[in-house]
Structure 1
Amino acid sequence: MRELVGQCQQCGNAVYCDDGFLNGMILENGALICSDCADEHNESNERKYR
């Protein structure tokens, strides 16, 4: 089952929940971001700690 959860706070794309799995990420501040933006977010955090 595919269910619309909301919009990405960074790019505005729709974020869905597919069969109980969120296709995105919820940040510590409560913002919802899509999978593509979550990948970018994780990469930038990895660079920060290198």
Structure 2
Amino acid sequence: MKEKVGVCIDCGNTVFCLAGFLNGVVLKEGRLRCFDCDREAEKKDESR
């Protein structure tokens, strides 16, 4: 089953729940980020 959960705060892509698993990351503020944008954000944090 595929259900729309929301949109990524960075790129605007739709984040889905696929068979009970969130296809993204919920941030502290309760906002969503897709996996691709979350990886990019982690890379930026590591390079600081």
- Render the CA deviation track for 1:10-38: whole Å, top value 9, x for unaligned: 11000001011111101112210111111
Gaps of 5+ in 1: none
Partner of 2:42: 42
The CA RMSD over aligned residues, in Å, is 1.2
Q: TM-score, normalised by structure 2?
A: 0.81
What's the % identity of the aligned pairs?
Answer: 48
Q: Counterparts in 2 of 1:7-26, with a 5 A limit?
A: 7-26=7-26
Count of aligned pairs between the two proteins? 48
Amino acid at match of 1:37: C
Alignment partners' CA distance in 2, 1:39 and 1:8: 13
> What residue ranges of structure 2 are gaps of 5+ in the alignment?
none
